Amino acid sequence: MDVRIIATILATTVLWSCAAAGQAAPPPLELIAATAIPQGSRFHGVAVGGLSGLDRLPGGDYLAISDDKGDGRPPRFYRLAIRIDAPRHRMRVRLKRQVVLRDAQGMPFPTDRLVVDPEAIRHPGQGHVLWSSEGTWQDDPARRTQPAIVESDARGRILHSFALPAAYLYADNRTRGAESNGVLEGLAVAPDGGVFAINEVPAFEDRMAAGDGDAPALHRLTRFDPRTRRATGQYVYAVPDARYAVSELLAVDDHRFLTIKRATPFDMRHGVDARIVLSTIAPGSSDVLACPAVPRCDAVPMTRRVLLDLPGHYRGVTIDNLEGLAWGPRLADGRRALIAEADDNFSREERSQFLAFAWSDPKE
């Protein structure tokens, strides 16, 4: 199925529960629509899937990055149109353009070997694109590709690379540094221009001692200066239940962030347990940029609040592998739309799913 022909993807049927009459205030997040790209869809002859990051452009379109690693298909991102009909609980998704990622010399990445692993995408302005890669771990350092955050132009060519702290880089994949395929899943741009990133699972040196099964997972959320592309601060994002990995990061303002956490491993027969969490760099949150191992530092983590629990089946929707999060348009009732996106891993058991929520800021 070619989505240039099947341009509109209609919403799935969802069982919606009505809000109680006279409710004093809406919940922070209310599911209002759901849809999925049909399995087997192709665009310009390439399979559509692996959608791992999502962001809204100033004009209203969206960017979605595929985590294809160059194993037969080009690493790429898409330009999408997403329309939400909240009163009818429907949404439509249409692919408009495909952009192949390119190296600093302007050459497309090879498709005969694993090179990059794109996971998150943001639009910092001036027509540029920020995207993160988990790289590829190999025991042989000569064949290893380190994780990266890069800035590309609108045609996908790398312009700049960020200097990453050690916790985001591969060392030995056992005791130090990042874990293979568990690094830069979350990327955000704050209103003041600050770039933030978070690792999917904690670095090895940040893990609690073996046998401490009830200990939280200690992730590092890092702020980067967008001009120097260097880290200027780092904060502890604690996950009480270590079954949950962090798969996305979205700025609410300069200090507050929404994250998607989803339980791993998962079985799509039962859906994916996920949570949307609001976390804050509070005045008392510790800066751990210079801390070599978080458990050994007396660090105060960011504050957190679970806004929505999404069990495997939620209001008639089977929750898929959520990995993308973006703001949507302002809705007729004044609330803002929030869109979550799922990575189908090019699997017949999973879907490229989109969920639309109505967001009510807990501060308001």
Look at the pTM and tell me if it is higher than 0.75: yes
Segment 247-303, tens digit of pLDDT: 999 999 999 999 999 998 888 989 999 999 999 999 999 999 999 999 999 999 999
One-letter amino acid at 7 equals: A
pLDDT of 348 strictly over 80: yes
CA distances from 108 to 42, 75, 115, 249 (A): 20, 8, 11, 27
Find the CATH number of the domain harbouring 247: 2.115.10
Omega into 28 within 30° of 0, i.e. cis?
no
Segment 82-111, tens digit of pLDDT: 999 999 999 999 999 999 999 999 999 988
Segment 215-247, tens digit of pLDDT: 899 999 999 999 999 999 999 999 999 999 999
One-letter amino acid at 309 equals: D
Identify whether the C-beta of residue 275 lies closer than 8 Å to the C-beta of residue 245.
no
Q: How confident is the model at residue 213 (pLDDT cuts 50, 70, 90)?
A: low
Nearest residue to 308 (alpha-carbon basis) of 91, 30, 32, 17: 30
Identify whether the C-beta of residue 74 lies closer than 8 Å to the C-beta of residue 66.
no
Average pLDDT of span 69-87: 93
Look at residue 210 and tell me if it is in a domain.
Answer: no
pLDDT of 14 strictly over 70: no
Look at residue 15 and tell me if it is in a domain.
Answer: no
Look at residue 212 in the predicted model and tell me its pLDDT: 62
Look at residue 17 and tell me if it is in a domain.
Answer: no
Least confidently predicted of 14-23, 115-124, 126-135, 218-227: 14-23
Query: How many domains does the structure of the chain reveal?
Result: 1
Look at residue 211 in the predicted model and tell me its pLDDT: 52
Look at residue 47 and tell me if it is in a domain.
Answer: yes
Average pLDDT of span 75-80: 97
Look at residue 70 in the predicted model and tell me its pLDDT: 75
Q: Tell me the C-alpha distance between 268 and 266, whole Å.
A: 6
How many CA within 13 A on the CB side of residue 36?
23
Average pLDDT of span 44-65: 96
Look at residue 296 and tell me if it is in a domain.
Answer: yes
CA distances from 16 to 9, 89, 318, 319, 338 (A): 20, 8, 13, 15, 17
Nearest residue to 197 (alpha-carbon basis) of 227, 233, 228: 233
Average pLDDT of span 323-341: 97
Look at residue 22 and tell me if it is in a domain.
Answer: no
How many CA within 13 A on the CB side of residue 137?
15
**Tokens read off for 327:** 């703001």
Look at residue 68 and tell me if it is in a domain.
Answer: yes
Q: Tell me the C-alpha distance between 111 and 120, whole Å.
A: 20
Contacts of 213 by beta carbon, 8 Å cutoff, 6+ apart: none
DSSP 79-137: EEEEEEEGGGTEEEEEEEEEEE-B-TTSPBPPSBS----EEEEEEEETTEEEEEE--B-
Domain of residue 169: give its range.
29-205+216-359
Look at residue 18 and tell me if it is in a domain.
Answer: no
CA distances from 301 to 236, 238, 282 (A): 5, 6, 9
DSSP state of 184: E
